[in-house]
Amino acid sequence: MRRNIDRRQFLQLAGLGGAVFVSGLAGFASSGAGADAGSGGGDFYFVQLSDSHWGFQGPAVNPDAQGTLRKAVAAVNALHDAPDFVIFTGDLTHTTDDPAERRKRLGEFRDIVKDLRIKEVRYMPGEHDASLDAGAAYKEFFGDTHYTFDHKGVHFIALDNVSDPRASLGDAQLQWLAQDLAKLDKKQRIVVFAHRPLFDLAPSWDWATPDGAKAVDLLMPFDNVVVFYGHIHQENHHMTGHIAHHSAKSLMFPLPAPLSVPKKAPLPWDASAPYKGLGFREIELEGGKADITELPIKA
């Protein structure tokens, strides 16, 4: 893929390249068959941004709380080749108990990301956006909280494990998922987006989905499934059987490694390394592989 080579060369030359995580053996495993499944298959890449927490205030954690999202938007616009689409995997805004303020933050977020020069931008809610009103305000701005779409032979599924304040997917959504999957060939390439992990990463830190295992069970018969999520503000790579789960960094503050400290709390700003731990990622779906390139936020 010539475009891909050019883009990687650009990343190296620009010093932007982060770790590349290849999940070719973890998720999109059956390369030939998986890549051929579906119609109109082709290689492409998209960008995942997550946990921008617009409205957060805490100078000790991020003194550039008003600027970091804008820097991310500019960084995406500056990518050598435009991604096919961008997706925000939840916690677009920082939670507030005031419904009017919630809408104000959602509106401000929407206005900032309007500057993305990407044809297709997709959204999902996080618990900060949706758990206090069952997603009502979020839907006013961004529409459905769970949905599917197809792109170049890949079936994408966005799940909502945040509109329920208990963080469950719920029986209705699981039934919807089962019905959607029933239409697919078992070799169909599937990418799942969720805000929270669908597995028990750290339940005592609320890093889990109570009925996430039911969704994973429904996905398990499919050969080529990979899950991208947010919520935990750091990279994490986990396998449930042959299904890979990859969490993304935040655009506001990093959190400590799962269960590494007694109390979960945002990591303090490092003045010697501004924006450390923040970033976004490119995900390239090429043949039977999903390649992840982590990109930092820079001053």
The residues binding other proteins (CB under 8 A) are 95-97, 127, 131-132, 165-167, 203-206, 208, 262-265
Q: Closest separation between CB of residue 43 and other proteins, Å? A: 39
Q: Closest separation between CB of residue 76 and other proteins, Å? A: 28
Phi, psi (deg, nearest 5) at residue 282:
-100, 140
Q: Closest separation between CB of residue 68 and other proteins, Å? A: 19
Determine how many CB atoms are found less than 10 A away from the CB of residue 179. 9
Q: Closest separation between CB of residue 96 and other proteins, Å? A: 6
C-beta closer to other proteins: residue 127 or 286? 127
**Contact present, 57 and 66 (Cβ < 8 Å):** no
C-beta closer to other proteins: residue 95 or 240? 95
Tokens 């919807």: give the residue: 176
Describe the chain by its helix, strand, coil percentages, rounded to 5.
25, 25, 50
C-beta closer to other proteins: residue 127 or 282? 127
Cα–Cα separations (whole angstroms), residue 58 to 91, 92, 252, 276: 16, 17, 10, 16
- Among residues 208, 211, 150, the alpha carbon closest in space to that of 175 is found at 211
C-beta closer to other proteins: residue 22 or 265? 265
C-beta closer to other proteins: residue 21 or 138? 138
For residue 224, give both structure tokens.
């080529």
Q: Closest separation between CB of residue 130 and other proteins, Å? A: 9
Q: Closest separation between CB of residue 92 and other proteins, Å? A: 16
**Which H or E element spans position 296?**
strand 289-296
**Contact present, 134 and 168 (Cβ < 8 Å):** no
C-beta closer to other proteins: residue 83 or 125? 125
Q: Closest separation between CB of residue 257 and other proteins, Å? A: 16
- The angle at the Cα of 298, spanning 110 to 192, to the nearest 5 degrees, equals 55
C-beta closer to other proteins: residue 91 or 223? 91
Q: Could you give the CA distance from residue 174 to residue 228 in angstroms, rounded to a whole number?
A: 18
